[in-house]
Every structure is written in structure tokens, then in C-alpha cells.
Amino acid sequence: MTQATKTWASPQHRHSVIWIVSLATLAIIFDGYDLVVYGTVLPALMADPAQLGEISAQQGGALGSYALIGVMVGALLTGAFGDRFGRRKMMLINIVWFSIGMGAAAFATSITMFGALRFFTGIGVGGLVATAGAVVAEFAPPGKRNLFNAIVYSGVPAGGVLASLLAILLRDVIGWRGLFLIGALPLVILLPLALLKLPESPAWLQARGRTDEARAVCAEYGFPLPSAAPVAPVEKIGFAALTTRRYALGTSLLGMMSFAGLLLTYGLNTWLPKIMADAGYNAKGSLAFLLVLNGGAIVGGLFASRIADGRGPQPVVATTFGLAALALVLLTFGFPLPVLLAAVAVAGVGTIGTQVLVYGFVSNYYETRARAAGVAWCAGFGRLGGIVGPIIGGLLIGAGLSNNVNFYIFAGIALAGAVVTFFVPPRPTAPNTEPEPAVAATVEA
């Protein structure tokens, strides 16, 4: 039997999965856009009080965190409901929610209004992040799950690249409000495609005892029918499953990994342009560092995911955390510009790229009955790190401390993330309770 036969049940199976991965990736690209677009407009908002009001460095960090508080809320809400109501419904709801929030934020007229709408938008972002991992884990064939998760969550740095490029090209033309309106495009681009092309997960349907519906979806889209029996009704599902002995320790450590990864991701994406502007680079030059940071994350994250599919994600995540610590320390040595850009690219691999790998690790760590809750927990708890990251940067910059202090603190957090990763226990197994795709068999209509 060839590897292609083992991976894909039929050409239709492959076609359907590619559509699903593409839709999830596009959704996460706008998550990344939302993450970075605030950092690209923050210097302009701080320089022009006529836009929203006088914004100090501390207020800038706080505004960056409001969206992340919303993301945490949205992720946890999705975790509470996603394993009960399905992947498709949650994805569609959060696409609409996020788009409305981004569009409304473009019309904010005060700091308070802007902060409230950033929080509202964050709820939809959190729901998308939590749902996308569960979707890909349940549709991707074994042997490609880390790769497909990396492709989807590379949408975060890809969105960052998009935001950086559009800010460089269009910020002086359409202003910060125009950049935020671009973030509302999923409502007219992504939602119609998702309504047509995104099915419900057969694994989720079967885990809920809806076997006939699972068979119908498999027949329509060419998916292999999940091979194991549905989860017994007495089994805990959702967040309740995370508290069991099987998952408790792993869930705690995975949450700490996500905390470290998102603290680094949001801290650097929010403040790197400001730090580089303070170091003497002009507006476009400082945004170029943001572009390199996210570009390095895309390339490095995809490369690392291929290794993770062969060797497992745990050693790869530990290594990329270590690379982040090294690169961030190198940024304090005042090297020539080409060396600094190379270090920023490596830092992107070890921070944003590491978080991409963490989502893949988490998505495949849990059974179907706990997958959405597990991803939501790590996305939600991790966003506490995302909230802390911009605040740390704002406090240090507001206190007048050297930019190097920021880099040293971030490097220490990356090192701590590497240490935590080593202690995550192996993925728990539960024989005969987890419906997995029988990828070697074709589906009869």
C-alpha cells in the first residue's frame, strides 16, 4: 500500500480536506491581522491625540491587552460550548462576531469606545483560534496533522505580514481606520465560503452518537468513516474531561507553554515597532522589523512542523523556545542591521512560530470529547500571557528603562517555556473510545 493510499481515502477526500484547511487558515490570517494591525497604528495614535485622545505608553499597553482579554473570554466560551454544539456552528458564529468587531472599531471616537470594541473583537478571535485547532485535528489524516496545524496557525504570522505590508503601503493613504475596516472583510469573503464548504466533523458527530449524520457527511465529502465506537455516555466531555487524572497534569503544562508563547508573541508584535523607532529607525524601517519577525515565523514554523510530524512536537517546541531566547539576547548587542534582521527572523521562529507548534501539539493531545476544550483552555489561559506581554513592554518603556531590559525579560520567559515543555507527559490513550479516521479505507456512498 502506498503512502498516498494511507494518507488519502480518495481524491475527493484530499480535495475536501484542502478546502477545510484553507478556510481555517484564512480565518486565522485575520486573527494575525488583528494581532499586528494594532501595533502598526499605535505609534500614530500616540503621536496624534486628535484621533482617540492622549495615549501614554501605559495606556497603549493596556489597550493592546483589552483585545486579549476578549480573546481569553472567547476561547473559554468556545471551549465550554464547542464540544457540545459542534465545530461548524462555532466557526461560523465567530467569523461574524470578529468581522463586526473589527468594522465597528474603525469608527471609534474615544479611547474608552476603542478599548470596548477591541474587547468585543477579541471574543470572536478567541473563538476562531479555539475552533480551528479542533477542526484541523479531526479532518487532517494521521501523519499530516502537525503540518496542517502549522499551515493553519501560520495564518497568525501571515496576517502579521499582511498587516505590516498594508501599514507600510497604505497607512498614510487610508489611515488607521481604513486598516481596521480591512479586518472586517471575512464577513463578505470568508463567511460565504465557509457556509458552502465547511462540513461538520464526522468524528464529533460520531462522538455525540450521531452516527447516521457522520456517515452522510463522509459520503458527501469523501471522508473515511471514523473507525472506533462513539464515546460512552458516562465519559466526561469538554472542560470536565480536562480535570480528570488522564489530562490534568498535561493540561496545566500545556497552558504554561501557551502562556509563554503568547506573551512573547503579543509583547513583541505590540512594541517592536516602537522599540526600533526609539532606537533611531524611521516609521517604515521600524515596521520592517515587524515584517521580518512574522515572515521568519511563517517559514520557520512550517519547516519545524515537518520535523514535528516525524519526531513529535515536544522536542521541536523546546528547541524553538531556546532559539527565541538566544535571538532575543543577540538583539541587545548592537550588531549591524543585516545581523539584527536575521536575529529578529529567528526570534519570530522561536516566539510566533513556537506558538504555531504549540497549537498543533495541543490539538492532537486530546480526544474528540475534550479537544475543543483543550485547545480553548490553552488559547484562553495562554492569552493571559498575551495580556501581560504588551503591559510589560508599556511599563518598561514608560519607566524609561533601556530597550535591552525588554529583550532580556522576554528571553528569560522563552527559556522558561523550553523548560516547561520538557515535562509535558505523553499523550494519554483511551483504547476503543476515540473515533479516528480510518484513512486506509474508502467510503461507500
C-alpha cell at 279: 532606537
- Contact yes or no for 153/353 (Cβ under 8 A): no
* Tens-digit pLDDT profile for residues 377-428: 887 788 788 778 877 777 777 777 777 787 888 899 999 999 999 999 887 7
Q: What is the full DSSP assignment across 405-433?
A: HHHHHHHHHHHHHHHHHHTPPPPP--TTT
DSSP 8-class letter at 22: H
Task: Indicate the domain borders of the chain.
Answer: 3-422
Average pLDDT, the chain: 81
CA of residue 215 relative to chain centroid, distance: 31
**What pTM does this model have?**
0.71
* Tens-digit pLDDT profile for residues 91-147: 899 999 999 999 999 999 898 899 999 999 989 988 888 788 778 878 888 777 777
- Which stretch of DSSP H or E encloses residue 126? helix 111-139
C-alpha cell at 366: 486530546
3-422 carries CATH number 1.20.1250.20: yes
Question: Rounded CA gap, 441 and 220, in Å?
Answer: 16
* Tens-digit pLDDT profile for residues 70-89: 888 888 887 777 677 788 88
DSSP 8-class letter at 110: S
Give Cβ neighbours of residue 84 (< 8 Å, ≥ 6 apart). Answer: 237, 238
